[in-house]
């Protein structure tokens, strides 16, 4: 299924487009004490910025998954240039046949909301090792949304539902996660400075217009829509 917003990110080749950007990613990973022997799964890896960082700075085994061919092509180019030994898989995380209980850490940066949330969380719980952890950076509703705002957000980002913090915790619990922690970060869904970009030759005027619409939407609705960083274990 086509998603114009994800196509936009792919065509611009934007790394760290999630709330908080790559600086937030680095600060989260710093606290995880990732070991070389650990196996890490980066779902919705995009252009591979986080996967490359994991492989180079921690020496762990990294598997990067994305279902957007343009994103993955740019990720492969990044890994080749940096000589990063990242395992690359193209496909929808909900449909992939991954070995059960095989990952110590799973990372999803603004990814789960673009899928069928419950299905994806169940999948992550199945492939996570006992004692492993999942870190999600996801959009949340900070207050009850009007029908108009809810529908506008879903249309803009090509998503089907917007959860508040309690609803995220409920779905995580239903997937089998018993320890659900909120990592303390600034919660406003603010515009993140983009420093990592690899644009395609096929960028269109529609891409620029959609990017402007996205930025206006965030600025106008930062009190209603924010994000959380969830750290979960089984």
CB half-sphere exposure, 199, CA atoms < 13 A: 8
Do the beta carbons of residue 190 and residue 19 sit within 8 Å? yes
| Number of domains observed in the structure of the chain | 1
Identify the pLDDT of residue 17.
82
Helix-, strand-, coil-residue percentages of the chain, each rounded to 5: 40, 25, 35
Q: What is the mean pLDDT of the chain?
A: 93
Domain membership of residue 124 as a residue range: 4-233
Identify the pLDDT of residue 36.
96
Grouping H, G, I as helix, E, B as strand and the rest as coil, residue 232 is: strand
pLDDT lower than 50: segments of the chain: 189, 191
Q: What is the CATH number of the domain that holds 222?
A: 3.40.50.150
Identify the pLDDT of residue 193.
65
Rounded to whole angstroms, how far apart are CA atoms 46 and 197? 11
Q: How far out from the chain centre does Cα 57 lie?
A: 20
- Which is nearest to 48 in space by CA: 2, 90, 99, 3? 90
Identify the pLDDT of residue 189.
45
């Amino acid at each position: 299924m086509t998603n114009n917003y994800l196509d936009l990110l792919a065509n611009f080749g934007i790394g760290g487009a999630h709330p908080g950007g790559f600086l937030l990613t680095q600060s989260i990973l710093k606290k995880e004490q990732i070991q070389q022997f650990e196996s890490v799964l980066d779902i919705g890896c995009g252009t591979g910025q986080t996967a490359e960082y994991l492989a180079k700075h921690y020496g762990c085994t990294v598997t990067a998954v994305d279902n957007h061919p343009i994103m993955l092509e740019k990720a492969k180019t990044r890994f080749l240039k940096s000589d990063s030994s990242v395992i690359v898989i193209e496909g929808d995380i909900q449909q992939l046949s991954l070995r059960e209980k095989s990952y110590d850490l799973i990372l999803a940066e603004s990814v789960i909301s673009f899928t069928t949330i419950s299905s994806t969380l169940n999948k992550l719980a199945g492939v996570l090792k006992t004692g492993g952890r999942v870190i999600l950076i996801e959009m949340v509703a900070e207050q009850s949304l009007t029908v108009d705002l809810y529908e506008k957000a879903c249309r803009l980002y090509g998503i089907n539902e917007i959860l508040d913090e309690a609803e995220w915790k409920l779905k995580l619990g239903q997937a089998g996660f018993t320890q659900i922690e909120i990592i303390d970060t600034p919660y406003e869904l603010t515009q993140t400075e983009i420093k990592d970009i690899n644009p395609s030759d096929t960028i269109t005027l529609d891409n620029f217009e959609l990017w402007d619409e996205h930025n206006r939407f965030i600025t106008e609705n930062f009190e209603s829509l924010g994000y959380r960083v969830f750290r979960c274990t089984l």
